[in-house]
Every structure is written in C-alpha cells, then in structure tokens.
Amino acid sequence: MALHDDLCDVFHLHPAKVAALKRGLLGDESVTALAETFRLLGDSTRVRMLDALSRSELCVCDIARLLGLSESAVSHQLRLLRSLRLVRPRRVGRMVFYKLDDQHIVRLFEQGLEHVEERAARRAGLRKGRRPDLNSREREGAGTLSSGDSPEAAGVRVVAHARDRSVPREMKK
C-alpha cells in the first residue's frame, strides 16, 4: 500500500456541510467521557466481566470463580467500571452483587458484540472466496460521484490536487 493511498486525488470542500457538522460535534466534556468509557472497554478482562454481568447479577466471589481471577483483581476492575457507572452494586447484608448499570450499557455491549461477529462472518466469507454484501450506503452510492458527474454538479468545490497541496491559504482552515 502506497503512503498516500488514503488521500483523495482531488482536494475539495463542502463548506456548508462542514459548518453544519461542526456545530453538532460533541463538546470536550462528552468527548473525554466517551473516550474514557471506550478506554475501559478496551481491556479483555473487563469485557469478560461485562459479558458475565450482562447475563446475570453476580457477587465478586462468583465473578472471580467464573473468570479464574482473584477476588482482589475482580474488585479492582469493578471499582474502575463503577467509577464510570458501567456497573452498579447492590448490597444484601454482607454480600455485594453487581450488574450492568442500565440498558444503555447492555445495548452498547450487545452492539459491540454484534459488530465483532459481523466482521468475523464477513472475513469467513472472504476466506471461502465469497464477496461480502455491500451495506446500503455502498449500494446506493452515498457520498460518491458517478463517473459522469462533475464535482461542481454535486455541490463539491474543487480547490486543488491533493498530492501537491497547492491549496490557497484561506482554504486550509
């Protein structure tokens, strides 16, 4: 793969689209919180714990036995998950049971799993020589130009060739 294969051959701007999207982008606080949530979900031990907790409310001892971890390790991981409200405790006497905090977490976990399983199925199809189905956006050609369309006709403002980066200074913002 060449160094610049991910660049467009033509540099063009959609000023109205960029301005509209910019107004709707997440704020700094939301970006930080979401990144932290995904960072915590990026650990295989915590994913295994969330998998177990998505199926049943469990105490630390049960999670430790189920996953082959020490109770101390489980408690540490639960403390991190609890700090971002991914799991919530329920005390019954001297026992503390944990479950996923709410349906948002359950859906996030299920959608992530669905994405992973779809990718695995698509890769398995490629290994067998099958072409994966295109998603609806690709079938409809969303965001692309037909061979006969000019960029200007599609509302695209062509500025300069991307490789030479000879973009006027006011366009580089």
Q: Which of 137-150 are b and which e, b meaning 16 or more Cβ less than 10 Å from the residue's Cβ?
A: eeeeeeeeeeeeee
In angstroms, the CA 45 to CA 73 distance is 10
pLDDT at 52: 95
pLDDT at 60: 96
pLDDT at 89: 96
Residue 19, helix vs strand vs coil: helix
Indicate yes or no: pTM above 0.75: no
Is 131's pLDDT higher than 90? no
In angstroms, the CA 5 to CA 19 distance is 27
Residue extents of the structural domains in the chain: 41-125
Is 41's pLDDT higher than 80? yes
Confidence label for 50 from pLDDT (cuts 50, 70 and 90): very high
User: 38: which 2 tokens?
Assistant: 């995904």
Nearest to 86 by CA among 100, 103, 106: 100
pLDDT at 138: 42
CB 66 within 8 A of CB 51: no
The set of long-range contacts for 1-6, using a CB threshold of 8 Å and a minimum separation of 24, is 4/162, 4/163
pLDDT tens for residues 99-128?
Answer: 999 888 888 888 988 999 999 999 888 766
pLDDT at 162: 40
Confidence label for 172 from pLDDT (cuts 50, 70 and 90): very low
CATH number (3.20.20.80, 3.40.50.620, 1.10.10.10, 1.20.120.420) of 41-125 reads: 1.10.10.10
DSSP state of 26: P
Strands (E), the chain: 10-13, 58-59, 87-92, 95-100, 157-161
Which residue type occupies 5?
D
pLDDT at 128: 64
Nearest to 159 by CA among 26, 17, 14: 14
